[in-house]
Amino acid sequence: MLDLSNKRILVTGGAGFLGKQVIKQLIQTGANLDKITVPRSSECDLRQLDNCQQAVLEQDIIIHLAAHVGGIGLNREKPAELFYDNLMMGTQLIHAAYQAGVAKFVCVGTICAYPNFTPVPFKEDDLWNGYPEETNAPYGIAKKALLVQLQSYRQQYGFNGIYLLPVNLYGPEDNFDPRSSHVIPALIRKVYEAQQRGDKQIPVWGDGSPTREFLYSTDAARGIVIATQLYNDSEPINLGTNYEISIRNLVELICELMEFEGEIIWETDKPNGQPRRCLDTTRAKEYFGFTAQIEFKQGLKNTIDWYRKNPS
């Protein structure tokens, strides 16, 4: 097991929703807070190579969480930005880390990299068996290219880079901005605001038939830190719960937990997104002993409670 106590660790995206949890997990695992660096996007634009080169200097481990990411609305609105920003951040950071002699690079990818029609549950070996769902493709392919880069750098240079594929994340401090949020925070905010206005209906995109899997942010962070300590191979690894729920059932559960009794209006002219998402989590359990711990309903309650105290 990699001893983190004396390691200099760069966490890109470390000030974000997942990043804060990763830093907490690192410290709980023995990392020294004084040796953890979090570059801020306002001061260190990782789309610029010189910033990447500066950021990785004298670091032992890079955990790359930074991403330009959002829900289906943002994916439709800004596909070019999502492709360019994520590809340039990742590929230049990996190259700079290799050049600087960084000992380990942990790259956090995305479930959006999987083909649109992947047999469920998604196995890592199916990653290349088709094109991603169209609205996710620019983001998903940009992130998937980083897996190829890490594998090729390992093959040619012996560079120790690992690639993790977390399923959709949720939890307190998530992004609740309706222009860019994912489905759970978007729905929680929608129900909350309907309650504040006294509305008797809420509109929801699609027909409710797609299924999704969700991983609580502290579980995801724990999985990332365990992999940082224990995993040193080229194969991508899913991080998830192996629990699948339909969007219809998700909406009904959020309404139940928030005590909203109004009508749900399904906007069937809006896109559904990928038909099903659920991960095979066997490899993470076998390779480094990771299994999720937070039960989904409890995680939703925690997220709802946080948002009610911090409405935006």
Q: Is 167 annotated as a binding residue?
A: yes
CATH of the domain at 24: 3.40.50.720
Determine if residue 13 is labeled as part of a ligand binding site.
Answer: yes
Distance CA 287, CA 210 (A): 30
Whether 307 is in a domain gets the answer no
Average pLDDT for residues 61-72, to the nearest whole number?
88
Listing DSSP states for 150-216 in one string gives HHHHHHHH---EEEEEE-EEE-TT----TTT--HHHHHHHHHHHHHHHT-SEEEEES-S--EE-EEE
Domain that holds residue 284: 9-170+213-243+276-294
Q: Is the pLDDT of residue 272 over 90?
A: no
Do the domain assignments include residue 99? Answer: yes
- Predicted confidence at residue 312, as pLDDT, reads 79
Query: Are 241 and 167 in contact, with CB atoms under 8 Å apart?
Result: yes
Rounded to 5°, the CA angle 265-202-180 comes to: 105
Total domains in the fold of the chain:
1
- The pLDDT tens digits for 197-221 are 999 999 999 999 999 999 999 999 9
* 216 included as an active-site residue: no
pLDDT grade for 76, boundaries at 50, 70 and 90? confident
17 carries a ligand binding annotation:
yes
- Amino acid at position 138, single letter: P
User: Active-site residue among 139, 153, 170, 231?
Assistant: 139
- Which tokens sit at 158? 């012996």
Is there a domain that residue 75 lies in? yes
E strands, the chain, where?
A: 9-12, 36-37, 61-64, 104-108, 161-166, 168-170, 201-205, 211-212, 214-216, 237-239, 245-246, 263-267
Q: Is residue 105 part of a domain?
A: yes
- pLDDT of 103 > 80? The answer is yes
The overall average pLDDT reported for the chain is 95
What is the pLDDT at residue 51?
97
How far apart (Å, rounded) are the C-alpha atoms in residues 297 and 145? Answer: 34
Give, as one character, the DSSP assignment of residue 62.
E
Residue 187 lies in a domain: no
User: Is the peptide bond preceding residue 132 cis, with omega within 30 degrees of 0?
Assistant: no
In a domain, 239, yes or no: yes
Q: What is the per-residue pLDDT for 275? A: 86
Check whether 249 is labelled as a binding-site residue: no
pTM (predicted TM-score): 0.93
- Indicate if the pLDDT at residue 74 is higher than 90: no
Distance CA 214, CA 182 (A): 11
Q: Give the residue with greater pLDDT, 83 vs 69.
A: 83
The mean pLDDT of 267-288, rounded to a whole number, is: 92
Contacts of 231 (CB under 8 A, 6+ apart): 162, 237, 287, 288
So what's the pLDDT on residue 167?
Answer: 94
pLDDT at 75 over 80: no
pLDDT at residue 178 in the model = 83
